[in-house]
Chain A
Amino acid sequence: QVQLQESGPGLVKPSETLSLTCAVSGYSISSGYYWGWIRQPPGKGLEWIGSIYHSGSTYYNPSLKSRVTISVDTSKNQFSLKLSSVTAADTAVYYCARFTVVTPLGYFDYWGQGTLVTVSS
């Protein structure tokens, strides 16, 4: 059974960088699949942030691309999200998930439980 678990600070100051890690168990990242980050502001809908392949190739939401970096560490079987210059608008529950490719794109089949990140001074 594939399991994902997000971790990182629950509070980030405005203008700083949000950093989260997703630990994967039950599946080796280096075996394949894309892995992604999705966020959900309180009371609002889902927003795709970006996805990464085990080789390191990435796809980012164009609206966030200038501030987002997603990386993968196959030795630790985890992948990470960095979002720079955060504002209150970045306050959200952040989910990590596995992405199954169905050409040309695909869907998220396994999700973490999510972690709330609040941007506030």
Chain B
Amino acid sequence: SYELTQPPSVSVSPGQTARITCSGDALPKQYAYWYQQKPGQAPVLVIYKDSERPSGIPERFSGSSSGTTVTLTISGVQAEDEADYYCQSADSSGTHVVFGGGTKLTVL
């Protein structure tokens, strides 16, 4: 079955830039989406269509794509950004939703 691969954890100090990657063979042909999930809460969409930001999401959140890897970048990380982040895309057939395993962002 198709998989999206994320690093289990990323740590940064406040004010620094955090980069979370997501790799998958179908990513050159499928859009990627990113969700932020804080403990005890439902996920929240922070990036859609690789690099678009929904209304209400701070400008420090951005997304990019290169080949089989997509990247969520958080510039000027704040303590409130500490959360789990999940990428989501489609398999190569474009009919099944796939989530990455998630990355825990720790703000030191």
In the bound complex, how far is the Cα of B52 from the Cα of A81, in angstroms? 31
Partner of A107, one of B33, B100, B101, B102: B33
Q: Is A111 an interface residue (CB 8 A)?
A: yes
In the bound complex, how far is the Cα of B31 from the Cα of A103, in angstroms? 9
In the bound complex, how far is the Cα of B48 from the Cα of A104, in angstroms? 14
Within 8 A of A (CB), among B8-45: 30-31, 33, 35, 37, 42-45
Interface on chain A toward B: helix, strand, loop, or mixed SS?
strand
In the bound complex, do residue A45 and residue B45 qualify as a contact, i.e. CB atoms below 8 Å apart? no
Residues of A within 8 A of B (CB): 36, 38, 45-48, 51, 59, 61-63, 95, 102-105, 107-109, 111-114
Q: Residues of B within 8 Å of A, CB-based: how many?
A: 26
Could you list some 22 contacts between A and B, CB below 8 A?
A: A36-B97, A45-B86, A45-B101, A46-B43, A48-B97, A48-B99, A59-B97, A61-B96, A61-B97, A62-B96, A95-B42, A102-B49, A104-B94, A105-B94, A105-B95, A105-B96, A105-B97, A107-B48, A108-B43, A111-B42, A113-B42, A114-B42
In the bound complex, do residue A59 and residue B95 qualify as a contact, i.e. CB atoms below 8 Å apart? yes
Residue in A46, A47, A51, A109 with the greatest tally of chain B CB atoms within 10 Å: A46
Residue of A nearest to B54 (CB): A109
Residues of B within 8 A of A (CB): 1, 30-31, 33, 35, 37, 42-45, 48-49, 54, 86, 88-90, 94-102
Nearest CB on A from B104, distance (A): 11
In the bound complex, do residue B45 and residue A107 qualify as a contact, i.e. CB atoms below 8 Å apart? yes
In the bound complex, do residue A104 and residue B95 qualify as a contact, i.e. CB atoms below 8 Å apart? yes
In the bound complex, how far is the Cα of B49 from the Cα of A61, in angstroms? 22
